[in-house]
Amino acid sequence: MTINRRAVLTGIAAAPAAALAAGAGRASLAAEGAGGTAPVVHAFTLGEARITVLLDGHLPLGTQLFNGYDDARAKEVLAQGLHRLQDDALQIPVNGYLVERGGQKLLIDTGTAQLMGPGLGALGAGLAAAGVAPEAIDTVLLTHIHPDHAGGLIAADGSAVFANAELVAAQREWDFWHDDAILAGVPDSSRGFFDMARRSVAPYADRMRLLQGESEAAPGFTALELPGHTPGHTGFMLDAGGEGLLFWGDLIHSTALQFALPEWTIAFDTDPAQTAETRRRMLDRAAADNLLVTGAHLDFPALGRVLRQGDAYAYQAAPWQFGL
């Protein structure tokens, strides 16, 4: 399904911006850990690459954010595992990634900074714990320009946190958030998304590289179009010298529910039908090719494989010791 303006505006209008954070209209973002949040990291090796998963924190994903939420069906699925609802919400992680390979230091997504409240904003502290200064980052790959992925790009004074990094994102993603015609049709309650998106990438305008379709995002990384969640939502396939890993962004928000119920989308998906279609296509590919996968909202440390289970799927987490 092609994303058109009507579908995009419907998705944005349905997404309650206030649910993200009371600070959605703040003029500053910070890269430091919020509220003294302790860094949580997990490092492993894959071929020629060393990958460190950086936990930014957790978000409560309320049941009201699932399109067509069915309480009985959700409880049936949850009863088969260890996830539990708390105050009608599931806690989902926000993960970012440091990839070190061949002297290159690359980040995939940058966390929330202080945009989304206490309990988040720890990615910068995790990077420090990994012994990497922000100025040492060569490249930042963005899966999309939502605040839990791009919030950590700028500091409290609006300057670039990653002073020497090239910023890479999909052309389609950039165009969407910078389209004044789309912005003009968005309800006031959701305009904060556009404000945050534009401010977070603004300091990188002179060192921004925009991708067209499936192409090289950085040495060893191929960009994959995963539209639906946002128009330019992008995954990245790492070739680490004969071993691969798919970073799939927000293909899955809830490990607990969306493998078993892949048709369930959330209010922040700009095109829910395309989101579900993209999800099934990529989950089929991951299962058929036995891909190692990771994602921004998979349960930390967010590394595993996809299994087919009839018309649905299951997630098989890799052992914590993987690659050590």
pLDDT, tens only, 253-282 = 999 999 999 999 999 999 999 999 999 999
Q: How far is CA 90 from CA 64, 93, 111, 141, in A?
A: 11, 10, 19, 27
Cβ 304 vs Cβ 316: under 8 Å: yes
Q: Tell me which DSSP letter residue 318 carries.
A: P
Sketch out the chain's domains with CATH numbers: 5-317 (3.60.15.10)
**Rounded to an integer, what distance in angstroms lies between the CA atom of residue 234 and that of residue 225?**
5
Tokens standing for residue 31:
């890269």
Q: What is the mean pLDDT of residues 206-219?
A: 97
Q: What pLDDT does residue 38 have?
A: 77
Tokens standing for residue 64:
């009201």
Q: How does residue 36 score in pLDDT terms, banded at 50, 70 and 90?
A: low
Which one is predicted more confidently, 196 or 320? 196
**Rounded to an integer, what distance in angstroms lies between the CA atom of residue 194 and that of residue 145?**
9
Tokens standing for residue 60:
């409560």
* Residue 227 in this model has a pLDDT that exceeds 70: yes
Helix (H) or strand (E) holding 186: none
* Residue 53 in this model has a pLDDT that exceeds 60: yes
For the stretch 124-179, pLDDT in tens is 999 999 999 999 999 999 999 999 999 999 998 889 999 999 999 999 999 999 99
pTM over 0.85: yes
Candidate from 116-120, 235-239, 291-295, 305-309 with smallest mean pLDDT: 116-120
Tokens standing for residue 62:
């309320």
SS3 content of the chain, % helix, strand, coil (to 5): 30, 25, 45
* Residue 17 in this model has a pLDDT that exceeds 90: no
For the stretch 305-323, pLDDT in tens is 999 999 999 999 998 755 4
Per the prediction, the chain carries an average pLDDT of: 89
* Residue 29 in this model has a pLDDT that exceeds 80: no
Q: What pLDDT does residue 280 have?
A: 98
Tokens standing for residue 55:
């936990």
Q: What pLDDT does residue 115 have?
A: 79
Q: What pLDDT does residue 2 have?
A: 32
